[in-house]
């Protein structure tokens, strides 16, 4: 494969993204390797342009860069930073739970990226282990903004249409509403997976998964990994809370990472808090 598009030479197929095919490419003019996402479905062009508009202005150490966007022969093309290394999903599948210090460090980096997005009224809407790359074992990069949405941008899906990956979706997303707190729910799912090696919501069908999510009904992480600390258990509990208003924000997660001792409350505090939020939802 050596197809050339607008000065970029495609060298290797990398996989399928949310909206199109992704290729490794070389840009001789800048002497750099990039990733190019090609959209082949003309009907999705508006969503592709949305991804470009959202990501073009972002500059954060834990968010993949967007270099260029253009249309060539009716083919929409996104030119992105190529982040070498496995996805977080691949690492968890291969090695199981991460060491707790590593999980907390990655959690902080991803929360920092989310806080940056939320400060700019951007909701990612598809945070999951497959959209986080690890160029180093202790460094995370958030990718794939195909479903991201500016708070004041046009709605690209009809009201009530499910957007995102079901196992990482927050309860309110099943009603078609995605807010910054929805990303924080997904952050809780991600942290649970890092600490246990499993998804908290593992029904056999999307309907079963949805029912478990809407009740925040998940197996305590210590049942899957007894080494999970009380602080991590409480952090998961405060992210996987049904009410969006009661959920930790990304900024609050960062504050708690700076002071994890504040999470070390009585053993009954977490269950009582969850019961109270369910009762008042």
Beta-strand relationship, 122-123 and 75-81: unpaired
Alpha helical stretches, state H, 70-147:
88-95, 100-119
The answer to whether the Cα torsion of 187, 190, 192, 198 is positive or negative is positive
Contact 5, 36 (CB under 8 A): yes
For 106, the 3-state DSSP assignment is: helix
The answer to whether residues 205 and 238 touch, using CB atoms and an 8 Å cutoff, is: no
Closest CA to 46 of 164, 178, 157: 157
Is residue 121 flagged as an active site residue?
Answer: no
| DSSP letters spanning 223-270 | HH-TT--HHHHHHHHHHS-SSGGGSPPHHHHHHHHH-GGGG---TTHH
Question: Which member of 126, 144, 183, 237 is catalytic?
Answer: 126
Structure tokens at 96: 């199981």
Active site residues: 126
């Amino acid at each position: 494969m050596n197809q050339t598009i607008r000065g970029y030479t495609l060298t290797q197929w990398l996989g399928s993204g949310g909206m199109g095919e992704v290729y490794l490419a070389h840009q001789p003019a800048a002497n750099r390797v990039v990733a190019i996402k090609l959209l082949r479905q003309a009907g999705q062009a508006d969503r592709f342009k949305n991804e470009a508009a959202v990501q073009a202005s972002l500059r954060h150490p834990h968010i993949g860069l967007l270099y260029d966007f253009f249309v060539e022969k009716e083919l929409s093309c996104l030119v992105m930073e190529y982040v070498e290394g496995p996805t977080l999903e691949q690492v968890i599948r291969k090695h199981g739970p991460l060491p707790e210090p590593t999980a907390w460090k990655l959690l902080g980096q991803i929360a920092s990226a989310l806080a940056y997005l939320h400060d700019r009224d951007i909701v990612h809407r598809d945070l999951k282990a497959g959209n986080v790359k690890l160029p180093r074992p202790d460094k995370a990069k958030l990718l794939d903004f195909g479903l991201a949405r500016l708070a004041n941008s046009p709605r690209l899906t009809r009201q009530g249409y499910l957007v995102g990956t079901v196992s990482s979706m927050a309860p309110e997303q099943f009603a078609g509403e995605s807010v910054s707190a929805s990303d924080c729910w997904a952050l809780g799912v991600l942290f649970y997976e890092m600490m246990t090696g499993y998804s908290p919501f593992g029904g056999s069908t999307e309907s079963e998964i949805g029912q478990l999510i809407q009740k925040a009904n998940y197996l305590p992480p210590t049942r899957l990994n007894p080494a999970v600390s009380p602080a991590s258990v409480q952090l998961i509990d405060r992210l996987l809370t049904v009410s969006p208003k009661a959920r930790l924000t990304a900024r609050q997660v960062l504050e708690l990472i700076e002071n994890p001792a504040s999470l070390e409350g009585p053993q009954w505090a977490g269950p009582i808090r969850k019961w109270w939020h369910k009762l008042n939802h």
